[in-house]
Every structure is written in structure tokens, then in C-alpha cells.
Structure 1
Amino acid sequence: MNHVVIIGGGFAGVWSAAGAALARGDADLRITLVAPNDRLVLRPRLYEPEPDRATVALDRILGPIGVEHVRATVSTIDTERRVIVADGTEIGYDRLVLASGSRLAPPAGLPGAERLFDIDTLAGARRLTDHLRGRDGYAAVVVGAGFVGLEAATELAARGRVLLVDTAETVGEPLGPGPRAAIEAALDELGVERRLGTTVTEVGDGYAVLSGGERVDADAVVWSTGIRAQELTRQLVHDPGDLDHLGRVPVDEWLRALPGVFAAGDTAAAPYDAEHTVMQACQHATPLGKVAGYNAAADLLGIPPRPFTPAPYVTCLYLGGAGGVFTRGWDRTVMATGADGAFVKEQINGYIHPPVDDAREILAAADRVYIDLPFFPREDEPEAPAAVRSAR
């Protein structure tokens, strides 16, 4: 029996499995997902105060669609022999999808780095939540004023004092100037202090030292900067220089990295257009998975593959008690802020939760590659806030 193997149990891995099952139909094809975890973690929601609610049991998705789950960690990909090694056991494949995701790169040589917290993983988010539980009025330092850092800082500001630190000279530099005024206004409303052009140089018991020498109170220091693809991508190239700056492997329009090997999610440097590659975010990981898994199975079954054609790029940022901000396009034109932006974020958080238990619903979702919600206006609709309000 032909065998499709998928590495990774995040958004891209789960949707790769569903995409492969969709292409399989009634054909004789074995599909196996290899991941050490037994739950899909809804990583974009780990800033929430109860991170365990942001998970879905994998067997409720994989079981109904006939996908095996091997709970193991992959250490080796042998593309010549077409085997992987997972916890010391070889697993053969005919087609492989690498969807092992990304990880937060810890700072090298930082004194007290073992005291850092993060919301990159479920275990990390649990540790931070447990540490701060019952400590209303705490002092927290968040390092990194990008997507993750802003969401962490604005959530933490509900119960404590927050200092946001970034080496950039502007808040939200990765988001560009479009939403900056809305973000700054939200931080001011929530009382989040900022130290820009600055980083943390030491973490101690109840304090942090900033690069200018300032010592600040810190019951928790949350590190949120430096996301890179998991290092299995290195095993798909002859030279690490062939990977992009985030450690991702280049893929073609079918998401093929090598003959017999596809990549999806945070491991794939897939073209978005002539100027951009996809983001390491669930809005791209989900369609990448659906297409990569489908094409891996289609390649074996002799059916036409699906090209990856990304949907219009949007950004939706949670800003705690100040609401949210929703933007459209790579210039991140602001379309909704405050309560309207928060509504969009809430709806997207619901959308990314995959259907469970019902094979028909799961496969139907795998067949719908892109998000289709009423507040995602067409390019010729300038009044996004009106679309949001009508959806509410």
C-alpha cells in the first residue's frame, strides 16, 4: 500500500492529513501523521489566560478521516531511502510532507535565560499562567514588540504593570506604519510602558536589567522574538544557505521541496507573490497544509495537483482591553480597530478551530482552502468597518 507520511501535529500537519484524506477518496492509501503531542495546539491563542482551552484532541480530527497517529519525535529524514526515523524507529514513506513548524529561538548567552517565560508552546504558556496566577499587580517585562509580544503585553496588562521592550525604534516594526497609531493608542490606554532601542541583558529573581543599565522590577520576563523553522528543514538541502532567513525550505507552486517531499506551514518558504513569501502564521499554515497534503496524495494516485494560490493577506491583532486592529494587504491598511477589530479577532479564533468527530465536515473543510468570512471585504470594498458591523 502506498504511504503518505506527515511530520508535525500543528495546523499545517493536521490540515495536510485532512488534505491527503480528501485526495485519497476511496483509494487504497495509507496516511500517517507523526508528532509527539496528542493535541493540536491553537498557537495563536496562547496569549489567553487559560491556554489549555486552546487545544483540540488530535484523535477527534484524525480518527474520523482514517489517518494513523504515531506519537513520536522525528530526528532523521533520509530522502534517498525514503524513510524517517522517529524515536529510533524507521518509518518508510512514498510521499512525505514536512510540517514540523517553528520554534522560538532562545537568546544566546543571556545571564538568567533559564528564568525567561514564553507563550510559544502550550507548556510555556502554562508555566507563565501558573507563575502569575493569584499575583494581581505583578510587574512583567515583555521582550519583543511584534505580533506575539503585543498580544502578550496587552493581555498581561489586564492584571499587572507591563513594560514592553524592543531593539527596534518603533513599536510593531514588523507590521509597518499602517496600524502603528492604533497600536500606540491601545498601549497608552492600557498603561503599557515602552523602552525602544533596548533589550534585556540580564534576568534575575524579581528583576531585569536593560541594555542601558536600568534595573526594573520583573516578576516575569516574557521572551517573544526570534521564530525560526524547526531544524529538520536542514535535512532537505545540501547547503544550509539554501534555506531562507527563517530556516524555511523553498518550495514550488505545488509545495514540493524535493521529489517525493512536500513542505507546509512554518517550514515552507512558499511564494506569495513576486515580492513576498508567506508568513509564519496560521492564516498561511492552514491552506499550505491543505494543498501540500492533497498534492502528496495526488502525486501517488495520478490525479491533478492543486497549485498554491494564496488568499488576500490580512492581519488581525489582539490588543487586550483596548480591542484589536484588523488590516488588509501587505501595506496593512487599517480596516477596523477597537471593538470592531476585537470582533474580527474573535471570529478568526473560532474559524481556526477545526471541525471534529465528523469525517464529512472535516473533509469539506479541507476542500475549502481559504477563509470565507463576511468581514473579509473584497479589494473593491473600501468600507471594511461596515462589513464588520453588518456581520455583528
Structure 2
Amino acid sequence: MAGVQTALELRQQGWRSPVTIIGAEPHAPYDRPPLSKAVLLGGSGDALLDATFDVDFAALGVDLRLGVRAEALHAAERRLATDGGPLDYDRLVLASGAYAASLPGTEGMPGVYPLRTLDDAAALRPVLEARRRVVVVGAGWIGAEFATAARQAGCEVTVVEAAERPLAGVLPASVTAPMRGWYEEAGVGLRTGTPVASLEPGAVLLADGTRLPADAVIVGIGARPATDWLAGSDVVLDAQGAVRADDRLRTTAPDVFAVGDCASFPSARYGTRMLIHHWDNAVQGPRTAAANLLGGDLRYDPVPYFWSEQFGRFVQYAGHHAAGDTLLERGDPADPSWSVLWLREGTLVAVLAVSRPRDMAQARKLIARSAVLDPAVAADPAVPLKAAVR
């Protein structure tokens, strides 16, 4: 998404010189959100068509080179080394994305699957079609989405999470507490507080000695920036291995920018460096990078946003909260729809909305303009959020 969107933005913003996109995958560029939904569940037609971008690259004058992997960057010579030969550039945009993290020692093990690419989704479709017994490692966003699809397909599903609760790394316990019930309601087993000890053919062994039968194991424990190929270059990486971009999305190498899952950037809005592995960042970042590549001076400081469809619910999150922010419940989490707000000295900084799209639409605008809310008014789910502005 980030690479294609950058090329489109360059053309829309007036760049008339040649544009080349290289990508290691052999497939035409595709969108990622359908991979854990429509592509997994199949139906009529080719899985690729469910996600492929409807873009005429030739008509745009974009040279799309598929199956070409970047291997090294020689910034002093303005040259990119690839497995298809060297490419010289005037300006370069890094959009190499991220790869799915794996359980140690399981790489290439039969019956163990990530869910990150189109090939991953295609490999998992027969598992769902055969209604196999599935163990999902990780109760994060992708684990919940896959569990939802697998149950919809009729699979027996157990989700295993090393932390004490789902989404422990991103949401507080009071917010995730009702989510445990979503698994039970969907008929999905949920084992928390017990890490995986090892895998063996047909089973997952947990640290407490439990042996879970498994025809397939899906690993959803996060993603890592795909930046190993930049080792030894002039592009500085941060502690998480992401390209360390500035607030204009420039890297430390001249005329080299970075967008999407592979790059972190400083946020003045939230006072921290951010690494965002979500679709919206891959759309917004290229607008800024393209403008600055063309000589502009735009700061990139978005309100982060993402969504997840799981267990019959549409879950959305916008902004960024910290442990010290004031949490404000808006509605009863036992109900089908509710929201949670985070306030920082009265200013709305983040929102989680469960099947409340109107709250999200209003909250994103309020966060963007640093609106101060009246907590008593904002806590009433019957009152529009915009009416709570002081």
C-alpha cells in the first residue's frame, strides 16, 4: 500500500519524471485488510482479485517490477542493489513494510502459518475449508480476526496468549475485560497467561504442560520492520529496527524518504516516536513524503487510526494514549456498542469505539484539533461527542 500510494501521490502532485516500483512479491500490488477476511474465506473468483489494486500502472507511466528484492543501499552512489541488478535513483522512497514475527525454531515447520501476505492467506484457505482444528498463538488484533474467520468457516479454534489477557500490550485491563467474553460467545477457546513451550506434529505444548491438539498453528504475535537489508547503509534504524525518519519522513541518507510499516517518526502531537503498522498510516504518509520529495516542507503528525472486524463487532481506535491519561467510559461494555475515551488534562487524545462509528467519526476530528471535553457530558453515550466540547 505505502509504495503504490507514494507513486500515485507523486503523479497527482505533479512529478513527471520516471517512477519505478520494485517489490519482492510476484503478485500485482494488493491491499492487506482483506487477507484476514474475504481472501481467507474464499468464495467465488480468484483470491488475488479480492485484494488487488485497480491501478493501471502503465497508463500512469510507472515501471512496476515484481519479484525484485532490494539487497543493499549505497546512498553515496545513489544506487540500490537488487537481486535483479543495480538501480540508480535521484530520489528514493523506502516502503519495504514489515514481516510477520515467528516463534523461535518454527520457521519452515509444516502446519505452522503466519498471516501477513497474500501467499499466507492462500495457504490458509484450505485449512479453513477443511474445518481443521486450529490453534492461534497471540490474542492481538490479527489473532482475533483469524479466529473469527476460522469459526465462521466451522473450525475448532483455540487462541493461546502468553499475557494475562487479550491485547495486553496496547489496551488497559478495564478495556480488554469484556473482550474475553467475545471469544466465549463465538465458541473460541482462550488460554491466557500461558506461553507456548514448543510445537510438535499435531500439537502445541504449553508452558504449564497442557497439550493442545492442532492440525494447524497460526502465529499472530506481531510484525517486525523489513529493514535488515539496510544494514551498513547511511540509513539509521531505531531500537525496533525501523527506519528512523524525521517529521518530514526524510531518512538520514540524502534524498531518501521512508513510509509505512518500515518507518518510525516523531510525533509532536503525542511527544513520542511512533511506529504504526496500520493501513491508514500507509495511505497518509505517502502524501507527505511525495510533497516533501517535490520540494515541500510538510510535517507528518497524523492522528493514528485503525479498525478490526472480530466476533461480529467493528472495533476502531484513533489517537494514542499513555498510562497516565484519564480513561472515560462511554456506555456499558456489556452492551453491543460502547466507547472509551482517553483525556490528557481534559484534551481528547484517543478513542476506542466498539460498533459506534458516529463516535469515531466525531472523535477523529476532535483529536485532530486538540479539543477539550467536559467529562460529565462526554461520558453520556446518548449525547454526541461534539456536544461535549468546552
Using structure 2 for the length normalisation, give the TM-score: 0.76
2:12 corresponding residue in structure 1: 22
Superposed CA offset, 1:198-233 (max 9, x none): 232333333221122211111211001141111234
Q: 1:327 to 1:267 in 2, by over 3 A?
A: closer
Q: Deviations over 1:338-381 (max 9, x none)?
A: 47967679x9xxxxxxxxxxxxxxxxxxxxxxxx9678453458
Query: Is 1:248 paired with 2:242?
Result: yes
**Counterpart in 2 of 1:280?**
277
Q: Are residues 1:318 and 2:314 paired?
A: no
- Unpaired runs of at least 5, structure 1: 1-10, 348-371
Determine if the alignment matches structure 1 residue 33 to structure 2 residue 28.
Answer: no
Decide whether aligned partners of structure 1 residues 225 and 61 sit closer, same or farther in structure 2, where only a CA change above 3 A counts: farther
Counterpart secondary structure, 1:186: helix
> In the alignment, does 2:166 pair up with 1:166?
no
One-letter code aligned to 2:65? V
The 1:100/1:334 distance shift into structure 2, 3 A limit, reads farther
- 2:266 is aligned to 271
Structure 1 letter corresponding to 2:254: P
Q: Deviations over 1:273-302 (max 9, x none)?
A: 312414111121211122223322x1xxxx
2:183 is paired with a residue whose SS is helix
Aligned pairs for 1:142-161 within 5 A: 142-158=136-152, 159-161=154-156
The CA deviation at 1:247 is 1.2
More relative contact order, 1 or 2 (CA 8 Å, 6+ apart): 1
- How many Å apart are 1:54 and its aligned residue? 4.0
Q: Structure 1 stretch 60-69 or stretch 117-126: which is displaced more? A: 60-69
Q: Is the 8 A contact 1:142 1:162 kept in 2?
A: yes
The question of whether the paired residues in 2 share the 8 Å contact of 1:236 and 1:249 is answered with no
Match of 2:121 in 1: 125
Tell me if the contact between 1:250 and 1:269 (Cα under 8 Å) persists in the aligned partners: yes
Percent identical pairs in the alignment equals: 25
The alpha carbon displacement at 1:41 in A equals: 2.6
Of residues 5, 13, 32, the one that matches 2:3 is 13
Of residues 229, 237, 254, the one that matches 1:259 is 254
Q: Deviation at 1:19?
A: 1.9
Alignment correspondent of 2:345: none
Q: Does structure 1 conserve the Cα–Cα contact (< 8 Å) formed by 2:128 and 2:155?
A: no
Matching residue of 1:306: 298
Deviations 1:48-81 (A, max 9, x none): 11353542246x2533432221222221211111
The count of aligned residue pairs is 338
Q: Aligned pair 1:43/2:37, yes or no?
A: no
Matched, 1:378 2:366: yes
Matched position secondary structure for 1:252: coil
**Counterpart AA for 2:246:** D
The alignment's TM-score, normalised by the length of structure 1, stands at 0.76
On the 8 A contact 1:116/1:203 being kept in 2, the answer is: no
CA distance in 1 between partners of 2:316 and 2:159 (Å): 21
Whether the 8 Å CA contact 1:314–1:329 is kept in 2: the answer is yes
Stretches of structure 2 that go unaligned for 5 or more consecutive residues are 322-326, 339-352, 386-390
Verify the 8 A CA contact 1:179 1:327 in the aligned structure 2: no
Residue number among 99, 104, 107 corresponding to 2:103 in the alignment: 107
Contact 2:102 2:114 in 1 (8 A): no
Name the structure 2 match of 1:199: 195
Taking a change above 3 Å as real, the CA distance of residues 344 and 256 of structure 1, as seen in their structure-2 partners, is farther
Shift of 1:243: 2.4
2:93 matches 1:97: yes
* 59, 81, 84: which one aligns with 2:80: 84
| Alpha-carbon contact 1:278-1:284 (below 8 Å) kept | no
Q: How far apart are the structure 2 equivalents of 1:384 and 1:101?
A: 38
Superposition RMSD in Å: 3.1
- The residue that corresponds to 2:170 in the other structure is 175
Return the match for 1:141 from 135, 140, 149: 135
Are 2:180 and 1:184 aligned? yes
> Higher helix fraction: Structure 1 or Structure 2?
1
What is the Cα deviation at residue 12 of structure 1? 0.8
Partner of 1:128, secondary structure, is helix
Task: Note the C-alpha offset of 1:386.
Answer: 7.6
d(CA) in 1 for partners of 2:142, 2:272: 24
Correspondence for 1:69: 64
**Deviation at residue 260 of structure 1 after TM alignment:** 1.2
SS in 2 for 1:46: helix
TM-superposed deviation, 1:196: 1.7
Alpha carbons 2:145, 2:309 under 8 Å: kept: yes
Give the letter aligned to residue 14 of structure 1.
V
CA distance in 2, matches of 1:165, 1:377: 37
